[in-house]
Amino acid sequence: MASDPPNRTLKLKPAAPKPPADPRAPRRPPVRPPGPARARPLSSAQRPELPVQPAATATAPRAGDPGRAPRRDPAPPHAPAAPRDGTRLNKRLAALGLCSRREADEWIANGWVSVDGAVATMGQAVGPGARIEVLPAAQRAQGERVTILLHKPVGYVSGQPEDGHEAAVVLVNARTHWKDDRSPRRFSPAQLKGLAPAGRLDIDSTGLLVLTQDGRVARALIGEDSEVEKEYLVRVVWAPHGPKGPGVVEQDVQAVFPADRLARLRHGLSLDGQPLRPAGVDWLNPEQLRFVLTEGKKRQIRRMCEAVGLHVVGLKRVRIGRVALGQLPQGQWRYLLPGEAF
């Protein structure tokens, strides 16, 4: 049987005292509203139960000052629907790493979450000492969600279709499932519902793209506090005046690229007015760089290279965290294995 929630006392601001009556003012008969009903005294309008706000008090105009408007005492503040020092339940569940906020809202709507023994409600706030319980049905539903690793080709966008280009998710079907996938799962169209990219890979880039139904995976990869590494192989040319300007060098770029600019790629650049986190940048061969980033701003590597006189002619993502692209063929996909984690 669910226990009653603890009582919470709300202190209301007392009304200002009524000024004493002027003994010189003539007595005036009480004003009655039209009709048979009598006016209800102000004191009876103040209901004892919370959180209804008491009616505001007012004083009548003083004699000899007919043009003065009645003075209203300030009304006490509205009683909050939830403790002001609490945290929204969906945010608390996400912070605990149990799910995303969207998943938390689904769990709460399905009645799978309780707080201090009582079924939780949407928008509920909880204090730091609240006892939160999740029914096994939520874990079962979460276990059915899939995470898919796709080798995205050039020409597909990561998210919604745009400018006539298809979304990469259209490549996820039974025909493009990698035959060497070791996962015991079998493809079902239901796995496409809510399948969304956890991180972008622009239309001109290829490589590892993560598509997931699992909010925990999305939060780990693209959450505000995420520091998961992403590794890229980047082919460049030296173009200090732009790719169509004079002085373009396509071969042995490493020999003409200034060392101080390589240092700036590693740390010292800003995009959109924000300094970038330190990056790992090294030469793999005279025309190819290896980037390791822990953030993912829009077209970040291309813009970083442009800032130091390089132009990107090829970009491939080969690793996210501890999960590598490996031998997955371009245009095909596989499931994230039970033992794999980013």
Query: Is the separation of the CB atoms in 318 and 163 below 8 Å?
Result: no
In order, the DSSP letters of 26-84 are: PP-PPP--SSSSPPPPHHHHS-SSSSSPPPPPB-PPPTT-TTSPPPBPPPPPPPPSS-T
Instruction: Tell me: pLDDT of 52 over 90.
Output: no
Query: What are the residues whose beta carbons fall under 8 Å from the beta carbon of 334, sequence distance 6 or more?
Result: 148, 149, 177, 178, 180, 181, 183, 328
Q: What angle do CA 219, 222, 223 make, to 5 degrees?
A: 55
CA-to-CA distance for 230 and 200, rounded, in angstroms? Answer: 11
Q: Regarding beta strands 206-212 and 310-320, do their DSSP bridges make them parallel or antiparallel, or are they unpaired?
A: parallel
Give CA 137 to chain center in angstroms: 24
What is the dihedral angle through the alpha carbons of 29, 31, 35, 40, rounded to the nearest 10 degrees?
-120
The pLDDT > 90 percentage for the chain reads 58
In Å, what is the CA distance from 21 to each residue of 25, 27, 48, 59?
Answer: 8, 10, 28, 10
CA-to-CA distance for 331 and 156, rounded, in angstroms? Answer: 10
What mean pLDDT is predicted for residues 247-274? 96
25-39 pLDDT, tens digit per residue, is 555 555 455 544 444
Find the distance separating the first CA and the last CA of the chain, reported in whole Å.
Answer: 41
Instruction: Tell me: pLDDT of 19 over 80.
Output: no
> The tokens of 249 are what?
């060098």
CA-to-CA distance for 284 and 77, rounded, in angstroms? Answer: 65
Query: Is the separation of the CB atoms in 167 and 212 below 8 Å?
Result: no
Give CA 66 to chain center in angstroms: 58
pLDDT of the residue at 7: 43
Residue with tokens 């006892």: 131
pLDDT of the residue at 106: 87
In Å, what is the CA distance from 262 to each residue of 107, 247, 253, 254, 267?
Answer: 49, 19, 12, 10, 9
The pLDDT > 70 percentage for the chain reads 75
Marked catalytic residue, from 202, 252, 260, 282? 202
134-184 pLDDT, tens digit per residue, is 999 888 888 789 999 999 999 999 988 878 899 999 999 999 999 999 999
What mean pLDDT is predicted for residues 85-113? 87
SS3 labels along 56-69: CCECCCCCCCCCCC
What mean pLDDT is predicted for residues 50-77? 44
Q: Looking at residue 3, what DSSP letter applies?
A: P
Residue 272 known to be catalytic? no
What mean pLDDT is predicted for residues 188-192? 93
Partners of 150 in the β-ladder: 209, 333
Q: How confident is the model at residue 83 (pLDDT cuts 50, 70, 90)?
A: very low
In Å, what is the CA distance from 305 to each residue of 202, 222, 270, 300, 326?
Answer: 15, 23, 12, 9, 26
Q: What angle do CA 201, 325, 279 make, to 5 degrees?
A: 60
Instruction: Tell me: pLDDT of 244 over 80.
Output: yes
CA-to-CA distance for 119 and 231, rounded, in angstroms? Answer: 44
Q: Looking at residue 173, what DSSP letter applies?
A: S
Find the helix or strand (DSSP H, E) in which 109 lies.
helix 101-109
